[in-house]
Amino acid sequence: MITNPILLSDLPILVGEPSSYPNGLARLLAAAIVSKEFRRTLLDSPERALEEGYQGETFLLSKEEYDSLLSIRAASLTDLARRMTLMLSKNTILM
């Protein structure tokens, strides 16, 4: 049997309520990375950024992701991503 060391990991498995839209937050952050204007809107007015979307694309987020995003006031995209990770991981169970 061939084993691939790349597939072996000591990382914990995160278990929690799965998002109905697992790529929504990643797509939102990707849009903020590539567009300075969208990033500024996201940081200054997250609700408006979610309502308007990016180039006709909307972001489907879980209620927890949406609420967390609206409650954070971050100065940078790095800060926003860090705070989102912290807030969402508080409600996730580590196995």
SS3 call for 49: helix
- Domain segments of the chain: what residues? 20-94
pLDDT digits (tens, 9 = 90+) for 7-51: 454 444 444 444 444 588 899 999 999 999 999 999 999 999 999
Provide the pLDDT for residue 15: 41
Residue whose C-alpha is closest to residue 44's, from 77, 11, 88: 77
**pTM given for the model:** 0.70
In angstroms, the CA 16 to CA 77 distance is: 25
